[in-house]
Amino acid sequence: MKKPPLLLFSFVIIYLVFLYAPIMLLPIFAFNDSSIIAFPLSGFTVDWFVGLMGENTLHRALKNSLIIAITAAVISTCFGILTARAMARHNFLGKRPSFGLIMAPLFLPEIIIGVALLIVLIQLGISLNIWTVILGHILICTPFSVSILYSAFNNMDKSIEEASLDLGETRFGTFRRVIFPLVKPGVIASLLICFTISLDEFVIAFFLTGVEPTLPVYIWAQLRFPSKLPSIMALGFILLLLSLILLAIFEYYRRRSETLIGNQPS
Amino acid sequence: MSSIFRNINASLAGWRLIGTPFLFGFLLLVAPLFLMIALSFWTQDYLDLDRTPTLNNYRDIFSHPVYVLLIKRSVIISLIVTITTVLLAFPMAYYISFYGGRYKAIWLFLITIPFWTSYLLRIFLWKIILGYNGVVNSGLQSLNLIEEPLSFILYNANAVVIALAHAWAPFAILPIFVALERIDRSMLEAAKDLGDTAIRSFMRVTLPLAMPGIVSAALIVFIPTIGDYVTPRLVGGKDGLMVANMIQVQFSKANNAPLGAALAITSLLTVLLISLGFLFFNRRYLRKQSS
């Protein structure tokens, strides 16, 4: 390995400090024994974590967010499988435009998606609840699912499928017993990513949620009250640990997926 | 004849799969966008909608300095954020691609970790870093570098730029990294062997070949940031508010959804126009490089 120029290496280190600066503060203030979020620190406490246990609104918001995130992850991943499979294996009329439409939410400002959905729901007279948030989240999670699953479907050896069909397995049987096991790690990776994105999504939830807040909407409301900030830091720290665990599992399955389809994991 | 049938059959097989997600996207994205366009030509009449088509909302936007100012400011902030993010991301991506060696995957992992914290809290934590009694000010004061806390770093456009350049970093690093990975290293050696200096071979080989990555990085940052709602609200203060904040106000407190829709359409069109212009100039640049 070549040695990098000193200037480049110092830049990389400073940039990493910049990237990590905000999240480094999270554990510091989550355990800091003061109701004011500022330096100097005053002492160690776990009170803020204990305090979270008694917050009923928080528990409700968490429950809503989990329902939304799980439903959105499952449906987006189903859409991801369908789209990735169609893109990888079939040539059909309108392939590119329909793919573009499904991937479009990735390139649109979230507020546009939120507002556009809100207008339709109001016009149709549908009242806002967690299902309306789920609809919005499926829309923004599907592109991520497609990009994870596309390479899994695309790099899979076509002859394995053909062999299975030639040996008398039905199409459905081939999917269940041959294709699905090969793309399973990709499916799990997609479920995890969609779950994490939905759990953290704020703007669309802010527009489409009714009286039942999601976790980010709850956090947003709490940010206005200075006295609530330390417990929000504690909550943020728990969420960070949770996402890191999910991310590690995701990375494991992504690598499995690459190995299964015969790529060198990168 | 049979080839036509085969085409139709193949199309059907593809559509059987993609049909459902396509229909979902059509009903929940395309149709709502069209309704939003229609709404922007209607008028809010207290609790009712007046559906006579009119250009009044757009006339309102362009005759009220506050709307024009917000859109202009959003565009300028997004452009600065895009340039800053891409300029900072490039050396990082370059380092990982050229000096990462066996550890490339770990480097990429290291870069994405901070972005799995709650988006709201990440932006909020910048407030703590940049604030009057924040990390930066108390740090600089304890080092005796400044006497009074710096006030130009929070509650203005600077803070918005810093927080957004942070929030979008991985979205810029990853595409540039992918483009750099694709560069055939023997081309750089050839340039060196043929007597190009390091800087010249960078300008004439690396940069043009990395351009597709830079372009996607720029667009992926530019388009969504213009509609950012959270960052201006949390760290922007009064002078850092952007158009998304005004759109939200129109849909809630101001109860003027048609005007909100017109604002959303105007900013979306502005972004699209700028992006298309950017793509056009980029194509010309690449053509000039290759001739």
CB contact under 8 Å between A79 and B24, yes or no, is yes
Interhelix angle for B56-63 vs B65-99, to 10°?
80
- Give the Cα separation of B76 and B90 in Å (integer): 21
Chain mean position to CA A49: 25
The CATH number of residue A249's host domain is: 1.10.3720.10
Contact call for residues B258 and B42 (beta carbons, < 8 A):
yes
Contact call for residues B18 and A94 (beta carbons, < 8 A):
no
The answer to whether position A104 is within a domain reads yes
Residues of B in contact with A136 (CB under 8 A): 28
Task: Please give chain A's pLDDT, 266 residues, in tens.
Answer: 567 889 999 999 999 999 999 988 888 888 887 777 776 777 788 888 888 888 888 999 999 999 999 999 999 999 999 999 999 888 888 889 999 999 999 889 999 999 999 999 988 888 888 999 999 999 999 999 998 898 888 887 788 888 888 888 888 888 888 888 888 888 988 998 899 899 999 999 999 988 889 999 999 999 888 888 888 889 999 988 888 888 888 888 877 777 776 665 55
Nearest Cα neighbor of A266 from B174, B267, B285 is B174
Measured between alpha carbons, how far is residue A17 from residues A25, A26, B110 in Å? Answer: 12, 15, 11
CATH for the stretch B64-290? 1.10.3720.10
Minimal Cα distance from B164: which residue of A? A19
**pTM score:** 0.87
Q: What is the DSSP string of A145-171?
A: HHHHHHHHHHSS-HHHHHHHHHTT--H
Residue A220: Cβ within 10 Å count:
21
In this complex, is the C-beta atom of A96 within 8 Å of any C-beta atom belonging to chain B?
Answer: no
In this complex, is the C-beta atom of A14 within 8 Å of any C-beta atom belonging to chain B?
Answer: no
In this complex, is the C-beta atom of B17 within 8 Å of any C-beta atom belonging to chain A?
Answer: yes
Q: How much is the average pLDDT of B240-269?
A: 91
pLDDT tens digits, one per residue of B139-174: 888 888 888 888 777 888 889 999 999 999 999 999
Angle at CA of residue B285, ends B280 and B288, nearest 5°:
125
Nearest Cα neighbor of A21 from B152, B149, B128, B83 is B128
CB contact under 8 Å between B121 and A87, yes or no, is no
CB contact under 8 Å between B112 and A247, yes or no, is yes
- Give contacts of B 149-188 with A, CB under 8 A: 166, 169
The listed range with the strongest mean pLDDT (A251-265, B72-86, B137-151, B223-237) is: B72-86
- Give the Cα separation of B67 and A11 in Å (integer): 39
- Give the Cα separation of A201 and A129 in Å (integer): 16
Closest Cβ opposite residue A200 in set B109, B119, B224:
B119
CB contact under 8 Å between A25 and B10, yes or no, is no
**Number of A–B residue contacts, CB under 8 Å:** 230
Nearest Cα neighbor of A52 from A200, A209, A215, A197 is A215
In this complex, is the C-beta atom of A180 within 8 Å of any C-beta atom belonging to chain B?
Answer: no
pLDDT at A262: 63
Closest Cβ opposite residue B11 in set A93, A99, A104:
A93
The answer to whether position A8 is within a domain reads no
- What the block records as the tokens of B240 is 């850092």
pLDDT at A65: 95
Q: What range does the domain containing A60 cover?
A: 55-260
The values of phi and psi at residue B48, to 5°, are: -105, 160
In this complex, is the C-beta atom of A7 within 8 Å of any C-beta atom belonging to chain B?
Answer: no
Measured between alpha carbons, how far is residue B169 from residues A116, A136, A224, B246 in Å? Answer: 27, 25, 27, 26
Contact call for residues A83 and A99 (beta carbons, < 8 A):
yes
Number of compact structural domains in chain A: 1
Cα of B147 to nearest chain A Cα, Å: 17
- What the block records as the tokens of B290 is 């290759």
Q: What is the DSSP string of B7-66?
A: HHHHHHHHHHHHHHHHHHHIIIIIHHHHHHHHHTTSEEETTEEE-S--SHHHHHHHH-HH
Contact call for residues A219 and B121 (beta carbons, < 8 A):
yes
- Give contacts of A 30-59 with B, CB under 8 A: 37-40
Domain ranges of chain B: 64-290
pLDDT at B233: 92
Residues of A in contact with B219 (CB under 8 A): 107
CB contact under 8 Å between A115 and B230, yes or no, is no
